[in-house]
Structure 1
Amino acid sequence: MSTPAARIADLLEDAPTASNPAPQFPAAPQEEAPRTEGPTLALTVVWGDLVEASADLHVTGHYQSVVPAAAELALDRAISSESRRVITEHTKLGWIDAQLGEVTYFPCKAGPVRSAAVVGMGPMGTLTERRAVQMYSSLLGEAVGLGHVQTLATVLIGAGAGNLTVNQASRALAGGFAGYLASLPATPPPRLGEILLVEVDRLRAEQLLLGLAKATEKLPQLRIGPELVEGSGGQLFAPSAAVYALTALTRLARPARPTPGGEASPDGEAARGGEAARGGEAARGGEPAPDGPDPPPGEDAPPEEDVLRTVLAGFAPHIQGKVREQLVQLAEVARTDLTLTVRAAAEAQADALPVRMSVQSGVGGLRWAALTGRATVPERLVPVDMDLLRELVDRLTEPTVEDASGLPDLLSRFVVPPDFQRLLTDDATVLLELDRDTASVPWEFLAETQPAGGDRRDPLAIRTQLSRQLRTPYSRVLTEGLADGQLRALVIGDPGDPEKGFQLPGARSEALAVATQLKNLGVKVTLFVGAANSTRQPGVDPARRLDVLRVLLCGGNHIVHYCGHSDFDVSATGRRSGWVFADGLLTAQELSLLERPPLIVVANACYTARLGGTTGPGTPDAQPGMAEHTPWGNPQAALVPSLADEFLRIGVGHYIGAAWRIPDDQGVTFAEQFYRHLFKGGTGEEAPTVGGAVRAARRRLYERRAAGRQSPAGAPSPERWSSWAAYQHYGDGAARFVRPDPADRPDTA
């Protein structure tokens, strides 16, 4: 167990931080007496599991576009089948608007949760105490308006991830509930009479009870149960266990104070009501406590002293004295006012809650927000000179060796807020929520900032899973599951017109290698290679748009792998992007009728700069106005986000694309490593994740970046040095890739 070095005052729950500054609200008018008549509401704090509490309606909070975690995930599991999480799927499909105070209901299966709902918290990072008051008022109004709800079970919404402190969220709850009750007529009373505030951790339950008691002192509409109710499913997590252990230890160090009857209080609790012992004073006659563990000569150590000496054994005497002094000071702090961060060894990344960062372009710079398993960082505005950022993006798109080595640290320091930089570690996966503008930034180059002269570590995308999500209209259908028989894949290679300079021999090699590998992994593969007017591959059909579209629409493919050119189609109807075929551009518009979109699309597709403002092939000069459609000087930077957006709209679960040209052999290496790690594991082994497979493929390219072709002077090839960073993954990096049971797989021999 380790904790950051801090003063005792820093451990207090109410201590303002940069993320949670002390709220400054205008004081309520003193002349207004609180309303004493009208409906009231009973609030009961329960130590237990939310989904095991008996209630008519169970509610948690929900951030916009954030997949469920903690209490919301527990509720999702309680109402869902084993194969699919209802709230999670609705989130990924964009069906939960989650505007502040908006309530979304979900059907429930048979079980203790009869009716479930989530209340919108807005975008992550924006929930202040004032906005939380509005949220709670809206929630209570919705529950009362239903008419049949007598008991509602919920959690302290807004404090679960540390966005607000327990006391801040308690004040918001009390203010929102009391405000709504004050707006109701005195009669008839609402049917809803009790709200259960459920907390799974024991210490936080104690903190919640005290926080609500304080927040409702002058609110007669709200009645707080005086005792903590023990439900089922309650736990004691490591930070709380550490606080309880620390509290017990302080009782050993704090001197016992004489009671009015002349007897000493053995556990020192009387010291809370009298003069506190500080600075190492001893209970024995008020003499100073010794600096070391040994009692004064001639005196026997009391039992608690023996225990303390055992605890401190092994420390140098001057350290023991400092520990005693700090323990005595800490003894004056109530355990419910303590909050500790206990960090264990990093668990498997697939099981860790991701660090989710939102980066949106805005007036005057970039707007950031973050949500982690431990805290929510409210929105930050980073003033950024867009001309400098544009130059940085252009130089990191297909960069030189010098730029790829020297500019990532600048990227991290230039655009990432300082308090966000400490979140960029390999303790957990990283998920970046981006808009179309910020998606053009090569975030895969992000590095953990180091002090001047410190050792440089591998880039973040090499040390952990780094994935992206686009703020875009999500799909209208669910992606096909993998447990419905044999896996199917469509592989397309080099479909461009060779007469127009679109022939790519390396794309053919990659398509053939991928098809062979997937067949060896038990996948049924449909392969198209080359245009109809190109050199034919023996035994393989050419890649015509119509034939490919037929297989896409009718084949029910789980995986689609494309190797070739991509481009923009700038026309009067807007700007679209797609894959280049000899007979035209294949875009997601042609795939809009897909009932079951592919789960994974991998596209090693480089920008051609040869298509014009029509739907057909043009010339290299037919690109007028392209710069007007992207804030970046290099259109290549905007290609993969544009393609990902097109395919995510039709329901594709994962889009993996290369943001610039990749050497042929490295494209094959990435694909080979990606599918090897995607299909690894067997019966009884943990299913791999898509993000983990992408990370493994990036790492292989990173480790081999100095190998292979070099310049005449012996310098590494720029294309090979940074190819690992070109691959961008759009989707949930923690998503499991669960293959069908081999026993259910048809014979493919």
Structure 2
Amino acid sequence: MVGTPVARIADLLESVPTASNPPARPPAPAPEEPPLPAGPALGVTVVWGDLAEVAADLHVTGHYQSVVPAAAELALDRAISGGPRPLITEHTKLGWIDAQLGEVTYFPCRAGPVRSAAVVGMGPMGTLTERRAARMYASLLGEAYGLGHVGTLATVLIGSGTGNLSVPQAARALVRGFAGALASLGPAATPPRLTEVLVVEIDRLRAEQLHLALVNADGKPPQLRVTDGLREEGGGQLFAPSAAVYALAALSGLAAPAAAPAGSAAPAAPAGSAGSSAPDGGGAGPDPPPGEAALSTVLAGFDPNIRAKVREQLARLADVARTDLSLTVRAAAAAQDASVPVRMSVQSGTGGLRWAALTGRATVPERLVPVDTDLLRELVDRLTEPTVEDARELPELLSRFVVPPDFQRLLADDSTVLLELDGDTASVPWEFLAEVQQAGGERRDPLAIRTQLSRQLRTTYSRVMSDGRPDGPLRALVIGDPGDPEQGFQLPGARNEALAVATRLKDLGARVTLFVGAANSTRQPGVDPARRLDVLRVLLCGGNDIVHYCGHSDFDLSGTGRRSGWVFADGLLTAQELALLERPPLVVLANACYTARLGASAGPGAPGAPSAVTEQSPWGNPQAALVPSLADEFLRVGVGHYIGAAWRIPDDQGIAFAEQFYRELFRGGSGEDPPTVGGAVRAARRALYERRGEAGRTPDDAGGRQRWSSWAAYQHYGDASAPFVRPGNGAATGQGTGEEPGP
């Protein structure tokens, strides 16, 4: 603009003096605000001990959504549970704990140090950040203040026990959360009763690290005080990594000169110098410093060059506080079966798959793997009843394509694996997961062969708690070939399997009810036919522990939504008909292959119409989606374990899987640890895996294809680590080995 001076940005800022904006008279100082009245005082004490042995008014641990208790939470669970069912664990399995971030759930307690117990929600595993942890701690403290009767609160450093946050991060979150809760309270006419929070750590070194982190945490308000030093209570331990740190600290002290001040050390004299003793350096000299003889004894068996390097590193370590050291000591391979299971969550999300993992040593935060849906769908299709070549070559691609790099290392361990899946990701044949190998490396057995691998479905419903297993013989219901032969659903192999399984179960001490064939099919001598109504009567009234089905399965689209079930000549038997079960079966094993023919052949409104072949998961075909759908419906009514085959299985291999599964499930006797359902599934998978290359079979024909990969077709929905406890004293009673009378 002509005649208008150019204005700089600074000229437009009123608070910045310029030639066109001269400085104004300095403003008068603002009057000092009176200090805010101090809120309630709260002491934080670090306790070295076992949380369940520390006396307090309220004991609290953290709880991830859908994750059964472990570590401190498991110890608290055992302390409050008087019966065979741990309360928190059972509530978790039944879906009764929502565990939203900061949500507190309370549990009744027995007499003892733990008078009142609760868990505070941490949200889904892998999502706990320092900021979210601060919100959780603020919610927890606010809840404790609101109770009014809690004077002492005992907890652990929530979020750090499994490595999700470092000790300093979790300590900062605790301080920030507590500070926020205290600020929101403000001054109160009546001081609250809660005056002390005990943060309990079972490992001594971690307790030291925790205390140091709390002392050094910024942002502590004046009314939040950290007690000097540690308080020692019962149950404290020293784990292997901490013991190694203490040992290194002691060796470092020996390598440092005696006159060095605490917390520092000068470099040790080189081996062979005048300050060395004869056993280590050779030669005479002045008296060795204190500890030199002990250090020389430790190093005596090493090469002189190695001794010098060890001394050098120990001298450097002497300058490092032991609270700054962290070591990882891996468990022996023999102890892997008893280790904490690895939980991996795989959820479908926008743009790919969302992964999170929780192990005994660490929590891996959520990762997003971008996945091309079309490629994944093709991979699922080719790994569903795959060719021999695909079964050999594609499992490693599955691991590389959809598993995040920092999760791939978990595939190399032999710990039990629990996969938490949603309705979409359950269609992926995860049983093919394999360790990612370097080029030229030796290929190991798949994960599902090396260890126990099971699936769990993420659902919004809550299952009901069923009664305990009654005394008396174990009861089993076996159903074989119930389809209509006039519609082409007759399966001679399913008949043979049902007869073989019934014989095996009776030999193992179970009381068996057997139904074989449809009413309009060729009758099996001495065996009642499989009618839906008769089978339902035995299911609802028979109190069966095990149900074994071999036949066809399909989807039912005739109602308000898609339901899946087992094909009978007179319709589908779905979990909807089992909703009134008072005591659902503990184990359901279904060799139930998918058929798309039912919907095509049924009339309008009949079960299965329209054709289920049009129903597809985002990742694959209906055959891949059927077992998850069946499992979801049966788990909904309270079934503990659902084991199903995702594609057709050769008759002899279906029988071999079932016989090996039941043989392993009934293994052991009184005085022995009961077998796990996951262990029985693993043994049965391995039996088929080792027979995949049997002579006399052509890999290119249909039977050879199924034979090569049938071990991977079996999907187990349930907790792989759950023990299978038989009724009564846990041993086969030998009673009731005869067949139950038919309807």
8 Å CA contact 2:47–2:198 kept in 1: the answer is yes
Aligned partners of 2:555 and 2:608 also within 8 Å: no
1:485 corresponds to 2:472: yes
Contact 1:584–1:617 (8 Å) recurs in 2: no
Amino acid in the other structure paired with 2:644: G
Between the aligned partners of 1:456 and 1:149, the Cα distance in structure 2 is: 57
Aligned-partner Cα distance in 2 for 1:498–1:137: 65
Q: Given the alignment of the two structures, is residue 439 of structure 1 paired with residue 426 of structure 2, yes or no?
A: yes
Partner of 1:604: 591
- Counterpart among 731, 737, 741 of residue 729 in structure 2: 741
Q: Distance in 2 between matches of 1:685 and 1:349?
A: 19
- Residue 657, structure 1, aligned to residue 659, structure 2: no
* 1:251 shift after superposition: 1.1
Partner Cα distance (1:612, 1:243) in 2: 66
Q: In 1, Cα distance between the equivalents of 2:358 and 2:614?
A: 34
Secondary structure of the 2:482 match is coil
Q: Return 477-486 or 674-683, whichever deviates more.
A: 477-486
Structure 2 counterparts to residues 431-470 of structure 1, below 5 A: 431-470=418-457
Unaligned runs of 5+ in 2: 1-31, 738-743
Structure 1 residue 747, shift from structure 2 partner: 3.2
CA distance in structure 2 between the partners assigned to 1:230 and 1:32 by the alignment: 43
Correspondence 1:250 to 2:252: yes
Residue equivalent to 1:12: none
- Distance in 2 (CA, whole Å) between partners of 1:167 and 1:340 is 16
CA contact (8 A) 1:610 1:617 kept: no
CA contact (8 A) 1:34 1:219 kept: no
Contact 2:473 2:735 in 1 (8 A): no
**Farther off after superposition, 468-477 or 682-691:** 468-477
SS at match of 1:478: coil
Residue of structure 1 equivalent to 2:266 = 277
Deviates more, 1:224-233 or 1:179-188: 179-188
Over 3 Å counting, the alpha-carbon distance change for 1:220 and 1:469 in structure 2 is same
What is the number of equivalent residue pairs in this alignment? 704
2:10 is matched with: none
Q: State whether structure 2 residue 714 is matched by structure 1 residue 727.
A: yes
Query: Residue 310 of structure 1 corresponds to which residue in structure 2?
Result: 297
Equivalent residue, structure 2, for 1:100: 101
User: What CA deviation, in whole Å up to 9, does each residue of 1:611-639 have, x standing for no partner?
Assistant: 22898799999655744542134211111
Shift of residue 131, structure 1, vs aligned partner: 0.2
User: Match of 1:4?
Assistant: none
Q: In the alignment, does 2:561 pair up with 1:574?
A: yes
Partner residue of 2:160? 159
Q: CA deviation at 1:476?
A: 2.8
* Structure 2 residue 199 is matched with structure 1 residue 200: no
Which residue is equivalent to 2:16?
Answer: none
Local SS of the residue matching 1:586? strand
Q: Look up the equivalent residue of 2:198 and give its one-letter code.
A: L
Quote the offset at 1:667 in angstroms: 0.2
Moved more, 464-473 or 303-312: 303-312
Asked if 1 retains the 8 angstrom alpha-carbon contact of 2:342 and 2:415, the reply is yes
Moved more, 302-311 or 84-93: 302-311
Contact 2:54 2:234 in 1 (8 A): yes
Q: Is the alpha carbon distance of 1:744 and 1:421 closer, same or farther for their aligned partners in structure 2, counting shifts above 3 Å?
A: closer
Aligned with 2:281: secondary structure? coil
What amino acid sits opposite 2:580 in the alignment?
L
The residue correspondences of 1:160-199 to structure 2 (distance < 5 A) are: 160-187=161-188, 188-199=190-201
Contact preservation (8 Å) 1:36, 1:220: no
1:587 CA displacement: 0.5
Q: Judging changes above 3 Å, is the alpha-carbon distance between structure 1 residues 431 and 601 closer, same or farther for their aligned structure 2 residues? A: same
Checking the alignment, whether the CA contact within 8 Å between 2:95 and 2:461 is kept in structure 1 is yes
State the 1:533 CA deviation: 0.5
Matches of 1:488 and 1:651 in 2, distance apart? 17
Runs of 5+ consecutive residues of structure 1 not aligned to the other structure = 1-30, 257-264
Over the matched positions of the two proteins, sequence identity in percent amounts to 76
Match of residue 502 from structure 1: 489
Would the alpha carbon gap of residues 683 and 174 (structure 1) be closer, same or farther in structure 2, given more than 3 Å must change?
Answer: same
Q: What is the SS of the residue equivalent to 1:717?
A: helix
The one-letter amino acid paired with 2:257 is P
Given candidates 664, 672, 681, the residue that maps to 2:668 is: 681
| Aligned equivalent of 2:14 | none
State whether structure 2 residue 355 is matched by structure 1 residue 354. no
Q: Alpha carbons of 1:65 and 1:621: their partners in 2 closer, same or farther (altered >3 Å)?
A: closer
Query: Are the aligned partners of 1:42 and 1:224 in contact in 2 as well (CA < 8 Å)?
Result: yes
Q: Residue 91 of structure 1 corresponds to which residue in structure 2? A: 92
3-state SS of 2:557 partner: strand
* Secondary structure of 1:467's aligned partner: strand
Distance in 2 (CA, whole Å) between partners of 1:614 and 1:46 is: 70
Q: Report the CA distance shift for 1:618/1:675 in structure 2 as closer, same or farther (over 3 A).
A: farther
CA contact (8 A) 1:677 1:688 kept: yes
Q: Give the AA of the match of 1:277.
A: A
Task: State the alpha-carbon separation in 2 of the partners of residues 452 and 389 from structure 1.
Answer: 24
Is 2:408 the counterpart of 1:421? yes
* Cross-structure match for 1:632: 619
Name the amino acid aligned to 2:235: G
Q: Does 1:646 align with 2:629?
A: no
Aligned to 2:396: 409
Q: Secondary structure at the match of 1:333?
A: coil
Q: How far apart, in 1, do the equivalents of 2:559 and 2:178 lie?
A: 52
The amino acid across from 2:483 in the alignment is: G
Q: Matched residues in 2 for 1:743 and 1:605: separation?
A: 30
- Could you say which residue in structure 1 is the equivalent of 2:12? none
2:515 aligned residue (524, 528, 535):
528
Contact 1:162–1:376 (8 Å) recurs in 2: yes
User: Which 10-residue stretch deviates more, 453-462 or 622-631?
Assistant: 622-631
The one-letter amino acid paired with 2:137 is: Y
2 CA distance for matches of 1:679 and 1:207? Answer: 47
User: Are residue 215 (structure 1) and residue 217 (structure 2) matched?
Assistant: yes
TM-score under structure 2 normalisation?
A: 0.90
User: 2-side partners of 1:502 and 1:617: how far apart?
Assistant: 19
- The 8 Å contact of residues 611 and 617 in structure 1, kept in 2 or not, is answered as no
1:83 is paired with a residue whose SS is: coil
Residues 583/502 of structure 1: CA separation in 2 closer, same or farther (3 Å cut): same
Q: Does 1:342 align with 2:343?
A: no
Q: For the residues of structure 2 that align with 1:306 and 1:64, how far apart are their CA atoms?
A: 55
* Alpha carbons of structure 1 residues 420 and 289: separation in structure 2 relative to 1, 3 Å: farther
Deviates more, 1:625-634 or 1:311-320: 625-634
Shift of 1:458: 0.6
Tell me how far apart the structure 2 counterparts of residues 216 and 399 of structure 1 sit (CA, whole Å).
Answer: 58
Query: 2:631, 2:240 → 1: CA distance?
Result: 41
Deviation of 1:66 (Å): 0.1
Deviation digits for residues 263-291 of structure 1 (CA, Å, limit 9, x no counterpart): xx2xx44462xxx524x556999x89899
Does the CA-based 8 Å contact 2:138-2:180 persist in structure 1?
Answer: yes
Q: What is the one-letter code of the residue matched to 1:230?
A: E
**Mean Cα displacement is larger for which, 230-239 or 31-40?**
31-40
Contact 1:479 1:599 in 2 (8 A): no
- Once the 2 structures are TM-superposed, how far is the Cα of residue 347 of structure 1 from its aligned partner? 4.1
CA deviation vs aligned residue, 1:393-428 (integer Å, no higher than 9, x gap): 110000001000001111111111111011113431
2:120 equivalent to 1:119: yes
- Write the deviation string for residues 160-214 of structure 1: whole angstroms up to 9, x where unpaired: 1010111110110011011111111312321111111111111111111111111
Aligned residues: CA RMSD: 2.6
In the TM superposition, what is the alpha-carbon distance from 1:79 to its structure 2 partner?
Answer: 0.8
